[in-house]
Amino acid sequence: MANLGYIGLGAMGGNMADLLMAKGHKVTGYNRTAGKADWLVKKGMPLAATPKAVAQAVDVIFVMVTNSAADEAVMNGPDGLIAGLTPGKIIIDMSTISPAVSRKLAAAVREKGADMVDAPVSGSIITLQQGKLSVMVGGTKATFDKVKPILDDLGPKVTHVGDNGLALVMKIATNLSLAVQMLAFSEGVLLAEKSGIKREVAVDVLTHSVIASPMVVYRGPFVMKMPPEAWFNVNMMQKDMMLAMELGRQVDVPLPTTAVTNEFLTTARAMGLVEEDFATIFKVLAKMSGVNP
């Protein structure tokens, strides 16, 4: 049993903390909006008042927050996570943020004699619940070896991809394809529908065809009915697309399909669909096609 902390108890982070407790670990939590963690507190999770207090109470601290600014906010400052670190402690940052920001934070962590890995995941709450989550890890091999047994409790695939920041590069490279796939899937559905094939038939055929990636299988049915709560909303996906395009410019890789798909996310925001799952790209293309989404 490890003595763990978890900072950022939203939909994904909260479910990870719950799973870690179910695996027998002690977990101390922190969330900016404390009330969102009530369900975990009822299960026995202590809730700390600050990120610093989490760091002081545990040995290994998970972080999963929205973006680079949120990550820096919980890490820095007199009540921040770094302020509570002592030598030997480890941060596992699962947030999808700028690789450059992550490397800067890791350097600050090492100045305290602690260490940090970036460990974003590929998958959703459903993937986590099904035991199919995969974790990418960037950092030293020695620290990876220390935290891998804990990460194995979250999913069956835990991969060390290289130095700090490189797991984030891998996550960004993965996520850009999710949105691009969703747009391509939407094109196929609408082409079939406007040609006279029922939408549900087109979705059934495509989700059982050679294009049926896990993303298409999970989100394809969303073109029939969106989930009541977004798995990964428009803002979250657009943040990742912008990170991808920034990285593409840095390393001179053109990302044409990423750029086009990003414009559909901007359109979704303009249409008031920002809180919906990014699969709402279908609604944007449907309206452009003269189809009732």
Closest C-alpha among 37, 35, 96 to residue 63: 96
Q: Taking a C-beta distance cutoff of 8 angstroms, is the pair 178, 239 a contact? A: no
3-state secondary structure of 172: helix
Q: How far apart are CA 217 and CA 260, in angstroms?
A: 23
Beta bridge partners of 134: 122, 157
Max CA distance (Å), the chain: 65
Structure tokens at 152: 């194995």
Q: Which residue stretches of 68-115 are H helix?
A: 68-75, 99-110
Kindly tell me the burial class for residue 88, based on how many C-beta atoms sit within 10 Å of its own C-beta (0-12, 13-18, 19 or more): exposed
**Is 141 a known active-site residue?**
no
For tokens 């969303």, the residue is 222
Residue 121 sits at φ, ψ, to 5 deg, of -115, 155
Question: Which residue in 52, 89, 171, 239 is the catalytic one?
Answer: 171
Residues with catalytic roles: 171
